[in-house]
Copies of this chain bind each other. A is one copy, B any other.
């Protein structure tokens, strides 16, 4: 089959767009998730146009070959992992920003555009594309759409889903479909655009996107507050959010994370603290907002409240936060990054519960959280060469998801399901929900060729 497949693909793709060299195809086998099976794909294709993507999908349909769409493969759930019989369809060469329109406040892009490149291009026009996953300097807009990415500024500006107005999609059989609009509003038919956001490439291949932009906000000013317990920090988050404040960022790092960041990058963060809360405002008078939030933190038992004096100090605090996951990776060599989101009123319960789970399994689990959204990343640090510790890591990871569901939360706030959380998706949705999800999949991909084995 493989030589037929490659010949057919080459018939409609330019030289160099079909890669079969095992040394190269192997590097397309997986994203950044741990514990997810992956084999090198049969072939890697790197189309540059929608027509070339259509050729790939028509070929895949004719020959009944599975297709795994890929962006930068920076995902954390194995959604981009390949199997030996599949085509890895990498969209990274479709990386043109086709339009930035300040009047209509939209950008039109191909899926391979890097998030940071788009952010810079629109900032040059005084505009702002908010979704900012930690991987924003490498991840692609297509990947962001596939996983419905979040980020640090979601607490004020929302997630990727809020910014996708319209799509062009190549369907499983190779037909091209337009969804949505380039207008600010529109309700013509079912919202298939939003259905594609977060579908992990399992319903079709996004080849163009119309994205909503906002005016660039003023620079944000940042404050750090130290707490003696994660519960106290969680309570402060609730006070801030129920007090009518609208921070542009409200992040939390627990003691394990703070120490990891210090040890990785000598940031001089306060090691004696149990929880470090980082709040930011990009309002007209951020100093006033920070003063109000600082007072709330003090009333909530913060031992230290340190507003940044200027942009440079603000940037340093944000950098510490952004380094968290990389720093935690250094602790024991490997991490499993969970992504449990709970109603923010249950944040303290979740953080305490994770502490208890870490203790029970004698594991190091650092928690970094988009606290304002109740979206936590409990990060299990372990030695992958130690099978016994690896087993405990996996067990604790599952216990954290169970706790999240028990607290009224979800197993994934922004990283997606992929293969990592398939069993858990079924638990969260229940049998009726799962059946209807499968029915939607069947409607778009009756031959089950698009990223099979993911999500369900």
Interface residues of A (CB under 8 A from B): 101-106, 126, 147-148, 150, 154-155, 158-159, 161-162, 171, 175-179, 181-192, 194-195, 197-199, 203, 214-216, 238, 241-242, 244-246, 283-285, 341-345, 370, 372-375, 408-417, 421, 425, 428-430, 432-434, 436-437, 439-444, 455
Give the complex CA separation of A424 and B4 in angstroms.
44
Which of A189, A199, A344 gathers the greatest number of chain B CB atoms within 10 Å?
Answer: A189
Inside 8 A of A433's CB, which chain B residues have their CB? 177-179, 189, 192
A168 CB to nearest chain B CB (Å): 11
- Is there contact, CB below 8 Å, between A374 and B184? yes
Is the beta-carbon distance between A417 and B188 smaller than 8 angstroms? yes
Give chain B residues whose Cβ lies under 8 Å from the Cβ of A162.
158, 162
Assess the B192–A198 pair: CB atoms within 8 A. no
Docked pose: A187 CA to B433 CA in angstroms: 14
A105 to B214, CA, bound (A): 23
Contacts of A425 in B (CB 8 A): 188-189
Contact A413 B284 (CB under 8 A): no
The complex places the Cα of A242 from the Cα of B238 at a distance, in Å, of 35
Cα-based distance from A408 to B184 in the complex (angstroms): 12
| A250 CB → nearest B CB, Å | 11
The distance in angstroms between the C-alpha atoms of A37 and B442, with both chains bound, is: 34
Q: Pick the contact of A187 from B148, B185, B191 — CB < 8 Å?
A: B148
**A433→B191 CA distance, assembly (Å):** 11
Query: How far is it, in angstroms, between the C-alpha of A189 and the C-alpha of B438 when the chains are bound?
Result: 10
8 Å CB contact of A375 from B185, B413, B414:
B185
Tell me the minimal C-beta distance from A369 to chain B in angstroms: 11
Q: Could you say which of A101, A191, A246, A421 has the most chain B C-beta atoms within 10 Å of its C-beta? A: A191
Would A432 and B171 be within 8 Å (CB), given that A285-B284, A344-B103 are in contact? yes
User: Which residues on B sit within 8 Å (CB–CB) of A374?
Assistant: 104, 183-185
A187 touches B414 (CB 8 A): yes
CA distance A432 to B192 in the complex (A): 12
B residues within 8 A CB of A185?
150, 154, 159, 341, 370, 373-375, 410, 413-414
Would you call B341 and A183 a contact (CB within 8 A)? yes
Residues of B within 8 A of A244 (CB): 126, 215-216
A102 to B154, CA, bound (A): 18
Question: In the complex, are the beta carbons of A246 and B191 less than 8 A apart?
Answer: no
Would A436 and B182 count as touching, CB distance under 8 A? no
Tell me whether A341 and B184 are in contact (CB under 8 A). yes
A190-B195 in contact (CB<8A): yes
A216 to B246, CA, bound (A): 11
Additional A-B contacts beyond A103-B238, A185-B410, A192-B440 (8; CB < 8 A): A150-B187, A154-B185, A178-B430, A178-B433, A186-B413, A189-B455, A190-B199, A194-B194
How many Å lie between the Cα of A396 and that of B414 in the bound state? 46
